[in-house]
A and B are shown apart, each in its own frame.
Chain A
Amino acid sequence: MTLLSVQNLTTYYQIRRGFVRAVEDVSFSLERGEAMGLAGESGCGKTTVALSLLKILPPNGKIVRGKILLNDLDVVKLSESELREKIRWKAISLIFQGAMNAMNPMYKVEDQIVEAIRLHEKGVTKKEAKDRVAKLFEMVGLEPERAKGYPHEFSGGMRQRAMIAMALACNPSILIADEPSTALDVIVQAQVLKLLDELKRKLNLAIIMISHDLSIISETCDKLAIMYAGRIVEVGDVLSVFKKPLHPYTQGLIAAFPSIYAPKQEMSAIPGSPPNLLNPPKGCRFAPRCNYSMDICLKESPSLIEADKNHFVACHLVHK
């Protein structure tokens, strides 16, 4: 059975000048033990998707449409207390973008995780929670004694491991990692990604890996969704999206990626700028920057169709 099915998720932020249409009609599904990468330009709505799944948007943000079905339960409809009891931490956990500095420097790491566990699971004693922290630390490759330390005594990689341990504290079935390795150097990054991959297998954990770095997604994910200006423009199995990208935006994104062994060159960018989300283009949101755009592209928004087996794309160039 499908673990998570997101249907037409639409989320806006209200600012003085109107609504930022950050996420529009986003649909995807996720199975148990599956890792999906969510990639796309800065500001395209990746973090907003994550915040929507947990309903922890800032006060000016709102889900205006759509369903988030988790084991057939619609998260969008749940009340605050239901969300706290059933969803946050227990079903879906999020490691925030920039979370490396999120721990409170005044408290021991262990105390922070213990508090989080006891907040979400009533009736767990301090002792039980501490034992759990020790197990979690072992699981993420940290010495359990280190839990007694303060966050500043942890290196970047150790902090990221501790964040993962904390996110797994209540045994969720989905882990969302928002840019989990941008602040890490390549060696520690490889170690952290390897850890996530092991956890996925061991715990049959579903992972949503948000990253602008396609090389990281290509290494760790089974599936890849590409977002552009609030919409998913292409989604499919990692290999086929990489080897045979169908959407002109995906093609540009992959071409722009520097490889260390390529000869030094001028980096290719996709010409033009991302659209203004207060007033996005009517048809395909990528049309103003697309080399192949046709009349219809300016008028109608293309819907996501299955172009190949398990490979969906939203582009008027691709017909079924």
Chain B
Amino acid sequence: MVEIVVKAENLTKLFEVKLGFFKTLLSKESLYVHAVDGVNLDIFKGEILGLAGESGSGKTTTGRLIMRLIEPTSGKIFFKGKDITHLDEDQMKPLRRYMQIVFQDPYESLNPRMTVGDIISEPMKLQGITDEKEVEERVYKILTDAKLVPPEEFIFRYPHELSGGQRQRVATARAFVLDPDFVVADEPVSMLDASIRAEILQLILSLVKTRRTSFLYITHDLALARHVCDRIAIMYLGKIVEQGTTDQLVLEPLHPYTKALMKAVPVPDPSHKRIEVVIKGEIPSPVNPPSGCRFHTRCPSYMGDICKKSEPQLVDMGNGHLVACHQYSKK
């Protein structure tokens, strides 16, 4: 039987929009960004679950909620069966060793005043691993695994002395150094070329294989997700619109949005020009998301009133392939 490591139930996050002083006086109600809206996810032991979708769809917010870095507006989060939704930071601390996050932006997430060596050993220090020798060994090993070699050339450098991709690898090394059970990896290889990327992904895959680590792998690179993830969930404006095994989503996408995403994936072949951009415009404002199906304003299969007025629910099309679109709603 599959063991569920992380479970998100009806997870919702609204951010209050900060208006200028006068605007606050004028408008009676507060406005909210519906960043994540009723998301359910099960992440199994030893699996890589991909979370994909357009910029602003709520992927990072979902990851941060699960890590308990921000407070959910409503909903629950379970880690290994334990409800962690309301634990305070002291109660979370012993769990942090087992749950790690690789932040999306290595330009923002690395402390500019710390050296690479300090950045990577910090999580160990926080967890009370003080044996100098052990710390050093682990730092050297993880730097080598992340291809920041020779390690002694990197441990004394500061983030500004690294290239973009090198910073990204430091962020990954930091998350992996304690051999966690669960990792939220937020675009961990977006700045890396294919070859080094393959190395980092092999590092991820080896953690999955040897330690049965579970990953929530956030990405907008579907070509990559295809080769890395066991299952994929697609988000649009704070909601999951489709979820299934990687093959189901790549080879038989059902939701019009997923289909459009798949068509927009670039192909590394100069004689292949990406055909017309399939859906126009950008994701609508999450402050005032469209009624009914949130995709209806851009949907090429828009079916009129039903899409505009009623919100499609996720339905199981067989073998765990879930989709939320009225084309598939039970008649």
Q: Which A residues have a C-beta under 8 Å from some C-beta of B?
A: 13, 15-17, 39-43, 47, 58, 60, 97-98, 101, 155-158, 179, 182-191, 194, 212-216, 218-219, 238-239, 242-243, 252-254, 256-262, 264-270, 273-274, 276, 278
Contact = CB atoms under 8 A, between A and B. Distances in A.
Contacts of B250: 260-261
Interface in B266-291: 266-274, 277-279, 282-283
A239 B108 CA distance: 37
B243 interface: no
A252 B195 CA distance: 8
A276 B153 CA distance: 8
B6 to A, nearest CB: 24
Interface residues of B, number: 64
18 contacts: A184-B220, A185-B261, A187-B261, A190-B264, A212-B194, A218-B266, A219-B266, A242-B268, A256-B197, A256-B198, A257-B268, A258-B194, A258-B227, A259-B267, A265-B227, A268-B198, A269-B199, A274-B149
Contact of A186 (B192, B199, B222): B222
* 4 closest A-B pairs by CB: A42-B165, A212-B193, A269-B198, A215-B266
Given A183-B190, A219-B266, A219-B273, A260 B195 contact: no
A158 B226 contact: no
Contacts of B150: 276
Contacts of A58: 160
B161 interface: yes
B195 A41 contact: yes
B163 A47 contact: yes
Contacts, number: 176
A270 B271 CA distance: 25
A260 B267 contact: yes
A41 B268 contact: no
A269 B201 CA distance: 10
B166 interface: yes
Contacts of A215: 223, 266-269
B164 interface: yes
